[in-house]
Structure 1
């Protein structure tokens, strides 16, 4: 049986300082909150994201950021749009 969840898994390399990366990640979270009503909270170097239809995390790793999310049924139709928006904002903030 196929899962009704769609998954996003994006890694983005960077050469920024941890503080710059944290600010960029907070900017991404603010945009997701504004557009999709997601809440966020830091758990060490991981920003946990949650809201109706989305459960995700943005992890700060040495030299890269990893974004993982599970999209519920309603958001799965928007997966391509959500993924491209995340990639665009990562490039804008970290390149």
Structure 2
């Protein structure tokens, strides 16, 4: 769960993020994203051990990062944003 929240926070901090409601504080979102990534790493290391924990954290984190643009497209765009981008 921490990896998914970390990915959402880091994606929200990006200038081209699709999460229009989360763009307010990019520096805070970036810091929160990295703290949650570290928390996720520590949790996976505690559960799985050294190398396996690192691999599990990276897989869950990257999967969540890849899913962010698609989730933002489905749930994050408002009607005003969609109208502005289409024309």
Do the two structures share a fold, i.e. TM-score over 0.5?
no
Higher relative strand content: 1
**TM-score, structure 2 length as denominator?**
0.32
Higher relative helix content: 2
Bigger CA radius of gyration: 2
